[in-house]
Structure 1
Amino acid sequence: TQTHIDALLRFYAEVRSFFEVCVEFLASHHAYCNDSRLFVYSFYRLLYLAAVDYYSSVDNWPLEADVTQFVRAISDAPLSEALLMRILKAGAEQSVPIDAADAIDLVENLSKRASISSPLNGMSCQHYRYERFTGRRGSSR
């Protein structure tokens, strides 16, 4: 029904927003993590790219079968270009402990996941406004 579709679209918007906030938080607070390997893995964990057992291994809740369904639902949420650009920007900054290769690998994994997703509106990536990301006016090309 339309009510269910609207609820799912709101869920997708919340997931997309959550991903953007997580990436911005990690990139902005990198000084608190000295281990670059752990820092990169934090991206994978927060963006639900880690192994499924990571999300239920501590207290066995939710059940692993449920986690798989949750991750599948989260995977169908469209990405935003701003999210991908922020990850790449973090990889380009010398002070952030994620190098360019790891940032590109992360973007590649997110892009692969988005390419096999089946969002309701048919868009696997949400476009952003150029000046919102860069602070400058102009086209994104």
Structure 2
Amino acid sequence: MANHLLDACNAKGDTPFHCAARTGMVEMVSELISLVRTEGGGERVKAVLGKLNKQGETALHEALRLRYKETVVAMVSRLMAADAELAQVPLADGTSPLYLAVLLGHDDIAERLHQHDEGLCYSGPNGQNALHAAVLRSTSK
């Protein structure tokens, strides 16, 4: 396989991981992780999964926006199993995966992210944090 394609970016800066996560292709993400691990080990997996697209997002951010809860849970589990430190990567605007999970109502995912990583990033946009997201969500119900 042409291994350099595993982290090649399209015009939007998306890697194959971003594209697979955005479309809910859990098994594809698993296969891509396996290919990267075979090619370069765990550090290479972390480097590829940590790549930001032009919106400053990782594949984890994309996964959190999926429509179906079962798919979100499966995708986040696969990504976090491959690199627990993904929860530390905020968007360019400061939106962390935890903030996004709380804002979108994925409470069980927020709990998993919190349990996975002691260095978890809590930040959100405009100086907010995950607690702000919880308040915003509760007032919009």
When the two structures are superposed, what TM-score results if normalisation uses the length of structure 2? Answer: 0.40
When the two structures are superposed, what TM-score results if normalisation uses the length of structure 1? Answer: 0.40
Greater Cα radius of gyration, structure 1 or 2? 1
